[in-house]
Structure 1
Amino acid sequence: MINAKRRAEIEKIVRGMHHEIVQSAKLKYSCGLPPYPQLFSPDIAIEKYGYTYEIRETMPGALSGGQFRTAGMIDTEQCVVMVASDMKFETQRFTAAHELAHLVLHESLPGMRQHRDRPVTGEHLGHRDPIEEEADYFAAIWLAPGPTVEHYFKKRFTNAPLVLNELTAFHVAGYKGVADLMASKPGSLVFAIAVARATKFSGRTFDSLASFFGLSPTAMGIRLRELGLVSY
């Protein structure tokens, strides 16, 4: 697991990069900024970093023997980042942010010359090689920065944290989903995922947080729990 000091270092790096993007966008968009998830699209950041970003139908071969499917790849000699086209949008997006993380945090490491990655979605954080864990964490906070998530969470659900009870379960999941949510264990992601994919609450309708931030419901649920926005 990444220790607290390293997490803080990565968060500081992401905040600095986000700040530069926002300041630049203020000069470009005089009538108002696009939503932050659009501004923080990883492919744009990769190109600003000086690399070409390509969506590939066919990826360069996996490690010798074809040990795993190549979903994302960095070639630091050719200055190109490649992401496979045959993945869901949210997987492409998280994989691209993961590769951006490698550029920012690990570009000088020997293994980055032609570095390949499996598909990554942000759903299995932890218990990986430390370099990959750092890239996963960077990607999660790049795509769903805490203050931004909290802002859009409160626009949808008003209160933070949103506490699970029969009333919130009904508003999040409807009558048929109440029993399952109320039966879920406090340590599980069931409620967080339900909130991440919810498209209505207390008479309001909206894009789900997962859809808005371009993450899978599970990855978005993990982020909501990390930020303390949902509670049992």
Structure 2
Amino acid sequence: MNRESIQQAAHRLHKEIWDNQERLWPNRHLTPFQMLAPEVAAHILGLDYQLLPNLGSPLFGREGERFKAAGLMNRSIRRIAVSTEFPMNVIRFTGAHEVGHFVLHEDEVMHRDKPLDGSARGQSRPPKEREADYFAACFLIPARLLLDAFAAQFQMKGPFPFTDTTCYHLNPSDPWSLLNAERDSLDREISLARCARFNNRNLIPLSVQFGVSDIAMAIRIRELQLVRWP
């Protein structure tokens, strides 16, 4: 499945949530950030979404790997379960990942996942796992919403320029590490994802605004080409 198809699947869920917001939250006005929750997506899809203290004993995965399950999708009973024993950004990304499996992979009846925060997206993973990861990123961090938040955060549109001045504002103790960062690293993107102060303004980091990990946000910033390179 190509990325455009996955983006469209996430966008259709966004539209369903937006069109049904008065029914979902009568007499309440939520921000888009508050609406972008995996449990809301599950509700729109008619799924039972459960948050449980844990999902049982550690399991054996590929090549004898042992892991504690953090997410479960059971198509036969239309249920998604997510363990609450992990940080909130892991709970949200794992939940969105399971929604992705339900939406994208109709041949999968039962699926379990280890804790996911989006940091494994650049690693070698089975195609269906990469697809569900990308769905989760598109659902939790919509392109348009991130572009608007990014422009408001740094008071500029388009790719962020890493100059002597901007690198100092992002990392006063070591601006050279950003100025000389390798293009294939995520150093610049991570600095933007977790930035809490810029140009003498206190900020809520983008990763916090969207409820995702710094690395998940950094990868999304890279995908949307929000770092300017010479």
Structure 1 and Structure 2 fold alike (TM over 0.5): yes
Residue 194 of structure 1: aligned partner: 191
State the alpha-carbon separation in 1 of the partners of residues 54 and 28 from structure 2.
38
Residue 180 of structure 2: aligned partner: 183
Aligned mate of 1:115, from 90, 111, 118? 111
Residue 46 of structure 1: aligned partner: 42
Unaligned segments of structure 2, at least 5 residues: none
Q: Secondary structure at the match of 1:44?
A: helix
Residue 132 of structure 1: aligned partner: 129
Instruction: Note the C-alpha offset of 1:33.
Output: 4.5
Q: Secondary structure at the match of 2:173?
A: helix
Aligned mate of 1:18, from 14, 19, 26? 14
Q: Which amino acid aligns with 1:78?
A: I
User: 1:159-193, CA deviations, whole angstroms, 9 ceiling, x for partnerless residues?
Assistant: 221111111112222x2031322232122110110
User: Is 1:227 the equivalent of 2:217?
Assistant: no
User: 1:122-152, CA deviations, whole angstroms, 9 ceiling, x for partnerless residues?
Assistant: 1121521111111000000100011110000
Instruction: Note the C-alpha offset of 1:27.
Output: 6.5
**Paired residues of 2:96 and 2:136 also in contact (CA < 8 A):** yes
User: Is 1:91 the equivalent of 2:87?
Assistant: no
Unaligned segments of structure 1, at least 5 residues: none
Instruction: Note the C-alpha offset of 1:78.
Output: 2.8
Residue 163 of structure 1: aligned partner: 161
User: 1:35-55, CA deviations, whole angstroms, 9 ceiling, x for partnerless residues?
Assistant: 212111111111221222122
Q: Secondary structure at the match of 1:124?
A: helix
Q: Relative to structure 1, is the Cα distance of residues 129 and 155 closer, same or farther in structure 2, using a 3 angstrom cutoff?
A: same
Q: Relative to structure 1, is the Cα distance of residues 179 and 31 closer, same or farther in structure 2, using a 3 angstrom cutoff?
A: farther
Q: Secondary structure at the match of 2:117?
A: coil
User: 1:30-81, CA deviations, whole angstroms, 9 ceiling, x for partnerless residues?
Assistant: 9885221211111111122122212222214424888322111112233221
State the alpha-carbon separation in 2 of the partners of residues 78 and 198 from structure 1.
42
State the alpha-carbon separation in 2 of the partners of residues 31 and 231 from structure 1.
43
Figure out how many residues of one structure are paired with residues of the other and give that number: 224
Q: Secondary structure at the match of 2:73?
A: strand
User: 1:92-119, CA deviations, whole angstroms, 9 ceiling, x for partnerless residues?
Assistant: 110000001011111x31xx33211111
**Paired residues of 2:100 and 2:136 also in contact (CA < 8 A):** yes
Q: TM-score, normalised by structure 2?
A: 0.89
Name segments (4+ residues, structure 1) moved above 4 Å. 26-33, 63-66
Residue 37 of structure 1: aligned partner: 33
Instruction: Note the C-alpha offset of 1:29.
Output: 6.6
User: Is 1:172 the equivalent of 2:170?
Assistant: yes
Q: Relative to structure 1, is the Cα distance of residues 230 and 66 closer, same or farther in structure 2, using a 3 angstrom cutoff?
A: closer
Residue 216 of structure 1: aligned partner: 213
Instruction: Note the C-alpha offset of 1:28.
Output: 6.4
Q: Relative to structure 1, is the Cα distance of residues 43 and 228 closer, same or farther in structure 2, using a 3 angstrom cutoff?
A: same
Q: TM-score, normalised by structure 1?
A: 0.88
Q: Which amino acid aligns with 1:170?
A: Y
